[in-house]
Structure 1
Amino acid sequence: MSNAATLPGSPSERLRQLLNWRNSVAWLVLVFTLLVQLVILQHLRSHEARTAATQFEFAVEKTTEAINKRLIEHEQILFGAAGLFETSGLVSREQWHQYNKRLQLIERYPGIQGVGFAQAVLPQQRDDHVRAVREEGFADYDIHPAGARPLYIPIVYLEPFTDRNLAAFGYDMFSEPVRHHAMATAAQTGQTRLTGKVTLRQETHGEVQAGLLMYVPVYRQSAPLHSAEQRMEALLGFVYSPYRVGDLMRGILGAADPALSLRIYAGPNEDSDALIFSSRSQPRDAAPLYGQTLRMQLYGQTWTLRLESLPEFEAFFHGNDALVIGLGLGLSLLLFFLISSLSLRRSRAEALAQQMTEHIRENKRALQLSEERLSLAFKGSNDGFWDLNLEAQTLYASPRAWHMLGYQPGELSSDLKLWERVLAADDLQQAKAQLAQTMLSAVDHFTTELRFQHKSGKLVPMLVRGYIQRDRNGQALRISGTSMDLTEHKRIEQMKDEFVSTVSHELRTPLTSISGALGLITGGVMGTIPAAMQQMLEIAHRNSLRLGHLINDLLDMEKIAAGKMAFDMREHSLRRLLEEALSSNQALAVHLGVNCTLRTPPEAHVWVDALRLQQVLSNFISNAIKYTPEGGEVTLHCELVGDHVRINVSDQGPGIPLDFQSRVFEKFAQADASDSRQKGGSGLGLAISKEFIERMGGRVGFESRAGQGTTFWCELPLLEPQSAPLTESDALRLLVVEDEPDTGRLLLLMLRDAGYEVERVQSLHAAREKLASKRYQAMTLDMHLPDGSGRELIDEIRSNAATRDMPIIVVSAASRFESREQDAGITWLHKPINAAQLLIALTDALAGRR
């Protein structure tokens, strides 16, 4: 039992190993990472506190601004009503009703109780005043409260004249001390005044709220108003608004919920008797983290506002501590156990290192021996050397040149015609014509690739480099050069092509699903998503598209260099191509705050490959958007130049540096090639654009001035437009053949959103069953299917009279394809693709069918 306790796998042994001095590095790392996490936590808390304080200050400022603004608006309403009296004298009840009806108080100013007019009545005028109001149809009207006073100011008009406001009709507001003070001050100064806290006459039912009234004095026309006594003498009455403070504040603050508690006191102190409004007050265990008391001077009154943060406000900014602590502790423990694991295997690693050291020494000795052998072999097996002496009619070839063809030196007779006998028979005529052209030209050096016949009968590709020695008249006297066996090079090139094809397929297939799915989600197909998640998804979508563009650029350059780039030349409307190009780059423009404008293009047609031209225009437009400052404009416009049309893309960027302009269209060329450059890209876009336009019979160029922007242009030959436009059925049936589930689902969504009726299968067998039972107007096809090649299905479709003319869109990740796949009715799209590329190819294929 005692031996079992010390076994290597027992808990006590593992604990002893953890506490061993050999594990000291792991403990140091644990302590260090915990300290780092503590610093990060403190920094995070400090940052959160600053952010929360800033947000709290903003909420306070927003609240006070809203109160000030609303009260100013109410004052303007009363000024308008006072102006009505001052210009018209006494205003009838009907005029007052129409004026307030036009104000739309309830809809525009929620929280206002109404707008009224209180008339100043002297004691000797009281009976006449009461009689006149009763004659208007208010038989029970009287001034209340009863009693003799030196001046009555009863409420005569009050709109809306319904519900609670009926209780205030005839009320002498001058009889109540708080109202009396505000009214007397307003009348003597001629300025707007607010009352202190009162209980409104309108509080007839329901919850009783604190009340306020705002008064604007109205004076008789042409009366002197130079002193307080003159203003009191000329007083006609007051236009005023009563407010239930709770309703008023809810109308001012609206539906906004800053997670703050607001209390308002009608006075300079936080006296509970002066409290007129309290919002979202709730008991809590701890004092609020953020609070502020401020005072507002409002129309002769001092308001004290107390704002405090609520728990949900504080939790929003201080709720990440547990997450940070958990992640930091988990990371520290992970590093600790990882380093412990490495430390506990140190002895084994040392033994292994010793073995590796011995192995390296042996390899080094073998490498030195190999280098010596290679050096000797290199001296004896250089590239073949040959020399044609045209004057002496002799040919010399080095032993290496003979060995590359399988001959021994001197095995064949050496004369000027020897090279023709060992050259591949199929290449002889072309090689002789090329040699004759070189001899007649003025060049001194040449390089060409030729195939020679090996002694065994196989063909040996060779790279031949030569120098032509000429006389004073330019006549060739002697030709000398080298030949290099390209057999291995060709094999490597073929392996590279196969590797590029395989890698592109493996990258493009998942990338198509990723970028397409992200595009659909960010476009709203799956419904509304949270704003924070939307931002992350947009970043992922943009970068997946960027990766796809980079892969396409690299493969396009590879195909261009290998001469394998095929073009599907057709007639297209220039206007449609430009509109599609601008539309496909609109999202980037919106993201960078740039406005893109298409000036009215001419009604013209061009003979181009639509997808290649779209790629060129997208390069021009996206570059212009990237280099145009926020708020700037990118312009796409055209002009006719003889029998060509020039397409211009102009930006408002800094222009192209003068020292870089000569290299703009070179591969991998970038004006800012540093690691810290602000604009991304591979430097291939403009080089590819130049190749595409020149292959379509056009040319490219640019115009740029420092600080005045850049215009990139391309010219294309014009065609006459078709006599009748092509039309498309509204319910075309399509078949999607794709074994990769994500890509198949993506193609299905893209085509269905465009209005097509779509069915999807994942194998050759299922596709054959569908094609035998239904008629489809077009189909998309993946060349790599689980039960065979898409090539088999194409051959079957073309051999069937019912489906022979059906357009086929091949969606594949392969970087190259067989020549017969360029048959009429087949369009090749490289993964990854977007909805615009797919729909353009499908529209062109259907139009070509007709």
Structure 2
Amino acid sequence: MTPMPFNRRESPFSLGRAIVSQKNVLAWFVLAIALLTSLLAWQYLKQREVALAERQFELLATDMSAAIRKRMVDHEQILLGTAGLIDASEQVTRQEWKQQIERLRLSEHYPGIMGVGFAAAIAPEQLTAFESQVRAEGFPAFRVHPEGERPFYTSILFLEPFSGRNLAAFGFDMYSESTRRQAMQNAVDSGKTSVTGAVTLLQETHGKVQAGILMYVPVYTTGLPVDTAEQRQAALKGFVYSPYRMGDLLRGILGNANPRISYELRDVTDSAVPQLLFATEQSKDAKAPLFSRQILLPLYGRDWQLSFSSTASFDQSIPSHALVLIAGVGIALMLFLLASLLNLRRDQAEALAARMTEKMRASNEALRQSEERQRLVLKGSNDGWWDVDIEQWRFVASARAWEMLGYPQHRGFQSLHRWQAVIAPAARHTLLKQLQQALASDTMSFACETRFLHKNGSEVCLLLRGALQRDDAGKALRASGTMLDLTEQKQVEAMKNEFVSTVSHELRTPLTSISGALGIVNSGSLGAVPEPMQKMLEIAHTNSLRLNHLINDLLDMEKLAAGKMTFDIRVQRVDVLVSDAIAANQGYAAKHQVTLQCAPSNEYWANVDGIRLHQVLSNFLSNAIKFSPPAGLVKVTLQRSAGRLRISVSDQGQGIPASFQPMIFSKFAQADSADNRQKPGTGLGLAISRDLMEKMGGEVGFHSEPGQGATFWLELPLAATDIEEVSEAPAEHATRVLVLDDDETYAQFMGLMLRRAGYQPVIIHSMREARPILFNEPPDALVTDLRLPDGHGLSLIRELRLQNATRHLPVLVVSAYCDEGQRLLDGRVEGVAWLDKPVEEFKVLPVLADLIKRANAQSTQSGT
């Protein structure tokens, strides 16, 4: 009879009999295979973890032994370097020895070293004189110990640091003890560094006694032969040495005991009697380690053996992957039950298939809805999409993508040449090159900004973003992505830049007058200012200058971003520009009670724009002053290296927080960004400085440790120094400077500034008044604005250059429209410099002096 399918009404006994029946042999086979696979997988993972742990243990042991070897070599170099001090001096004083050792900063760089000392070699007949000499140095109780007659003496004369435990070793004859004597004699016989076996140091005056060693470097009398052991013994002057407590030394090298690995260090030079130098503490009930290793270190005549063993924490950290075995057994049982059900209950299998089919339909529906959502999101973002079959060189694009270019949608795939035809000619080469580079590389995505041709002939700025699909060999097969119309964004950016530029220019003129008027009033040129008003006027003047700086920074950023900033780059004395910048910031430093210091330097010439370099240096100096504490010191240094000059400005402030350092040269970046921050500023100075130096072929950078101040530096290439200086004969009369500006307040301010500098200013407010003076009695220089009430300053400059008498007249243009003037002036006119309003005294005077100097030199060369 055909057995009836199992159903729920059957007893558990019937179910168990059905599971062990022959019809369920396939399920038992599946169970056996699954259990075997789980066991093999668990065994493999366990063996792999043990192998990885063993490699890690070997690496730790190797690194620790290498660290010990390197540190001992470093200590030898310290002794050799200190021995050089004795070789170079006929008589080393105790103070010189102390300064030499303190400069090494042993406790900071070499923790674990107890000190560096010198033990003098003493013949028996010299012992009394030696003790008397040391006593005369201020040690009345000094004596060489231990006492007793010996054929040869040594005495510890110097040992730094000369305090604490080290005081116990002062005067000790190390040659009197056998272990030390053996190492010292080996050093003399071989002429090389030698290390003792385990000894108890005299420094073990308190606390736990540790095994100790000493390292010796022999020092010989200069000029005597040292080719043989006998000659070296005869020429012996003493020993430079260092004592070490092995526990402290190894902790200084390796840090605190590694909880994952323990080690022992033994001296096995005499294999019959090995000496324990150090051993890490181990638990008494610790189990046998899984891993151990021994490494032999031959060092300076001794053989050290390092024995490493893994700790319980290291062994326990090796994953056992028991969960893998448990999970494998569980999966095997599940597979067995599933196979049993599939094999014994066909009807349940069919029901399961129906449920799975329903789930697949639900998944397909969810996928369809997901694709619909993506389509709606893409439509809502106003982006177009495209897809390219790279192998077939065909593409398809969405209706929105074609709409951006004014074309109706093209359904289905098209040749990619159709898409290339609508790329703007000027951008085609760059775009194709970028796409080819993306295809040739291993990148999976790309983004590029380019321009396409609209159907009406105009250009459309688009942002293309895409992802690449590659085969197993990395070859690109397909590219898909989106395109975003940037027209509106570009218009907004243009409007923003135009707004910033216009507003800044319009603010400049009234602010210049305000700052100039306040400067004249505060200077006392118009009479004494009442004391109650003095403070308010100073506050007003200070804040007007701050607002001027803010406008200048905004305009500089706008010019740099638009590529409109012009540079007067020529070979100049950089050290003089540095001195000028320091002098210009002395008042600001005095206000903050900060001292500016610059070490004397040589002449350095570089191809730079002096005004822009002065601006960068002033940014660095003002920041250093601002963030220095009262009575602080700001140092300026000039260093030349490989044809480049580095100028560094260092302060003693709190330094730059590590979290802020990556953003230090970003626009509007400030470490204290709170509304109530203590240090005012726009956060644009360093960003402008970086861009200015890049334009001049230089670079900027900094280094800072929080709490230890900051150093900002700039580097630029040096120019050839074969520049002939034009000697200036002393002037017989004051230099006459014609100031032409329709703003009376600013003209008076400029005149006062020039008068204080020793010039003779002549103030004029129109071109009509200026022409008779310029062409009949030419001054020595002209300072002029551009937009004047009866004409443009450029026309006046052109007239001056056409007349022989004024062909070389130096002209300094001080205007809020310097960009416009430089753009409209035909060609490069010699003898003209440009400064944007508002301008400060420290900028005007160096530029004007340089213009006059160059004009005099040119006139001398041409014979006029």
TM-score, length-scaled by structure 2: 0.50
Q: Are the structure 2 counterparts of residues 442 and 569 from structure 1 closer, same or farther at C-alpha, using a change threshold of 3 Å?
A: farther
In structure 2, C-alpha distance between the alignment counterparts of 1:792 and 1:534, rounded to whole Å? 43
In structure 1, C-alpha distance between the alignment counterparts of 2:506 and 2:646, rounded to whole Å? 39
The 5 Å alignment of 1:824-839 reads 824-825=829-830, 826-839=832-845
The residue that corresponds to 2:201 in the other structure is: none
Q: Are the structure 2 counterparts of residues 670 and 760 from structure 1 closer, same or farther at C-alpha, using a change threshold of 3 Å?
A: same
Q: Are the structure 2 counterparts of residues 781 and 815 from structure 1 closer, same or farther at C-alpha, using a change threshold of 3 Å?
A: closer
The 5 Å alignment of 1:150-169 reads none
**How far off its partner does 1:796 sit?**
5.1
1:784 correspondence with 2:790: no
In structure 2, C-alpha distance between the alignment counterparts of 1:819 and 1:462, rounded to whole Å? 31
**How far off its partner does 1:381 sit?**
8.2
The residue that corresponds to 1:556 in the other structure is: 556
Q: 1:811 aligns with which of 798, 811, 814?
A: 814
**How far off its partner does 1:525 sit?**
3.5
**How far off its partner does 1:757 sit?**
4.0
SS of the aligned residue for 2:461 comes to strand
The residue that corresponds to 1:840 in the other structure is: 846
The residue that corresponds to 1:650 in the other structure is: 650
Q: Are the structure 2 counterparts of residues 681 and 454 from structure 1 closer, same or farther at C-alpha, using a change threshold of 3 Å?
A: same
The residue that corresponds to 1:14 in the other structure is: none
Q: Are the structure 2 counterparts of residues 377 and 636 from structure 1 closer, same or farther at C-alpha, using a change threshold of 3 Å?
A: closer
> What letter corresponds to residue 408 of structure 2 in structure 1?
Q
> What letter corresponds to residue 406 of structure 1 in structure 2?
G
The residue that corresponds to 2:659 in the other structure is: 659
> What letter corresponds to residue 406 of structure 2 in structure 1?
G
Q: Are the structure 2 counterparts of residues 534 and 582 from structure 1 closer, same or farther at C-alpha, using a change threshold of 3 Å?
A: farther
SS of the aligned residue for 1:658 comes to coil
Q: Are the structure 2 counterparts of residues 490 and 738 from structure 1 closer, same or farther at C-alpha, using a change threshold of 3 Å?
A: farther
**How far off its partner does 1:798 sit?**
5.5
The 5 Å alignment of 1:623-634 reads 623-634=623-634
In structure 2, C-alpha distance between the alignment counterparts of 1:471 and 1:765, rounded to whole Å? 79
SS of the aligned residue for 2:416 comes to coil
In structure 1, C-alpha distance between the alignment counterparts of 2:593 and 2:380, rounded to whole Å? 66
CA contact (8 A) 1:381 1:400 kept: no
> What letter corresponds to residue 583 of structure 1 in structure 2?
A
Q: CA offsets per residue over residues 751-801 of structure 1, 9 Å max, x none?
A: 343333444444455555655545355433433334454455455556667
> What letter corresponds to residue 688 of structure 1 in structure 2?
I
In structure 1, C-alpha distance between the alignment counterparts of 2:473 and 2:634, rounded to whole Å? 57
1:823 correspondence with 2:824: no
The residue that corresponds to 1:269 in the other structure is: none
Root mean square deviation, CA, Å? 3.3
CA contact (8 A) 2:395 2:413 kept: no
SS of the aligned residue for 2:648 comes to strand
1:477 correspondence with 2:477: yes
Q: Are the structure 2 counterparts of residues 448 and 575 from structure 1 closer, same or farther at C-alpha, using a change threshold of 3 Å?
A: same
**How far off its partner does 1:583 sit?**
1.3
1:742 correspondence with 2:745: yes
**How far off its partner does 1:688 sit?**
1.8
Tell me, which stretches of 5 or more residues in structure 1 are unaligned?
1-374
Q: Are the structure 2 counterparts of residues 381 and 843 from structure 1 closer, same or farther at C-alpha, using a change threshold of 3 Å?
A: same
Q: Are the structure 2 counterparts of residues 410 and 654 from structure 1 closer, same or farther at C-alpha, using a change threshold of 3 Å?
A: closer
The residue that corresponds to 2:565 in the other structure is: 565
Q: CA offsets per residue over residues 353-391 of structure 1, 9 Å max, x none?
A: xxxxxxxxxxxxxxxxxxxxxx99994781333333211
**How far off its partner does 1:402 sit?**
2.1
**How far off its partner does 1:581 sit?**
0.9
1:697 correspondence with 2:682: no
The residue that corresponds to 1:421 in the other structure is: 421
The 5 Å alignment of 1:365-764 reads 379=379, 382-410=382-410, 414-721=414-721, 722-725=723-726, 727=728, 731-763=734-766
> What letter corresponds to residue 742 of structure 1 in structure 2?
T
Q: 2:778 aligns with which of 772, 775, 779?
A: 775
Q: CA offsets per residue over residues 321-380 of structure 1, 9 Å max, x none?
A: xxxxxxxxxxxxxxxxxxxxxxxxxxxxxxxxxxxxxxxxxxxxxxxxxxxxxx999947
The 5 Å alignment of 1:293-332 reads none
CA contact (8 A) 1:501 1:814 kept: no
**How far off its partner does 1:834 sit?**
0.7
The residue that corresponds to 1:281 in the other structure is: none
In structure 2, C-alpha distance between the alignment counterparts of 1:758 and 1:412, rounded to whole Å? 79
**How far off its partner does 1:433 sit?**
3.5
> What letter corresponds to residue 845 of structure 2 in structure 1?
L
Q: Are the structure 2 counterparts of residues 564 and 467 from structure 1 closer, same or farther at C-alpha, using a change threshold of 3 Å?
A: farther
**How far off its partner does 1:401 sit?**
2.4
In structure 1, C-alpha distance between the alignment counterparts of 2:823 and 2:412, rounded to whole Å? 41
**How far off its partner does 1:530 sit?**
4.1
Aligned residue pairs: how many? 476
- Same amino acid, percent of matched pairs: 48
In structure 1, C-alpha distance between the alignment counterparts of 2:430 and 2:854, rounded to whole Å? 38
**How far off its partner does 1:455 sit?**
2.1
**How far off its partner does 1:518 sit?**
2.7
In structure 2, C-alpha distance between the alignment counterparts of 1:814 and 1:573, rounded to whole Å? 28
Q: Are the structure 2 counterparts of residues 662 and 410 from structure 1 closer, same or farther at C-alpha, using a change threshold of 3 Å?
A: closer
> What letter corresponds to residue 489 of structure 2 in structure 1?
H
In structure 1, C-alpha distance between the alignment counterparts of 2:641 and 2:597, rounded to whole Å? 22
**How far off its partner does 1:733 sit?**
4.1
CA contact (8 A) 1:734 1:776 kept: yes
> What letter corresponds to residue 571 of structure 2 in structure 1?
E
> What letter corresponds to residue 823 of structure 1 in structure 2?
R
**How far off its partner does 1:595 sit?**
1.7
CA contact (8 A) 1:616 1:689 kept: yes
CA contact (8 A) 1:701 1:713 kept: yes
In structure 2, C-alpha distance between the alignment counterparts of 1:778 and 1:530, rounded to whole Å? 37
SS of the aligned residue for 2:639 comes to strand
SS of the aligned residue for 1:719 comes to coil
The residue that corresponds to 1:204 in the other structure is: none
The residue that corresponds to 1:166 in the other structure is: none
> What letter corresponds to residue 827 of structure 1 in structure 2?
A
In structure 2, C-alpha distance between the alignment counterparts of 1:751 and 1:457, rounded to whole Å? 57
CA contact (8 A) 1:504 1:814 kept: no
Q: Are the structure 2 counterparts of residues 820 and 828 from structure 1 closer, same or farther at C-alpha, using a change threshold of 3 Å?
A: same
CA contact (8 A) 2:397 2:410 kept: no
CA contact (8 A) 1:501 1:815 kept: no
Q: Are the structure 2 counterparts of residues 413 and 749 from structure 1 closer, same or farther at C-alpha, using a change threshold of 3 Å?
A: farther
The residue that corresponds to 2:78 in the other structure is: none
> What letter corresponds to residue 494 of structure 1 in structure 2?
A
In structure 2, C-alpha distance between the alignment counterparts of 1:472 and 1:794, rounded to whole Å? 70
Q: CA offsets per residue over residues 697-717 of structure 1, 9 Å max, x none?
A: 222222323333222222222
CA contact (8 A) 1:505 1:812 kept: no
The residue that corresponds to 1:191 in the other structure is: none
CA contact (8 A) 1:737 1:780 kept: yes
SS of the aligned residue for 1:392 comes to coil
SS of the aligned residue for 2:659 comes to helix
Q: Are the structure 2 counterparts of residues 657 and 429 from structure 1 closer, same or farther at C-alpha, using a change threshold of 3 Å?
A: closer
In structure 2, C-alpha distance between the alignment counterparts of 1:805 and 1:542, rounded to whole Å? 38
In structure 1, C-alpha distance between the alignment counterparts of 2:413 and 2:775, rounded to whole Å? 67
Q: Are the structure 2 counterparts of residues 771 and 654 from structure 1 closer, same or farther at C-alpha, using a change threshold of 3 Å?
A: same
**How far off its partner does 1:692 sit?**
1.9
> What letter corresponds to residue 828 of structure 2 in structure 1?
D
Tell me, which stretches of 5 or more residues in structure 2 are unaligned?
1-374, 859-864
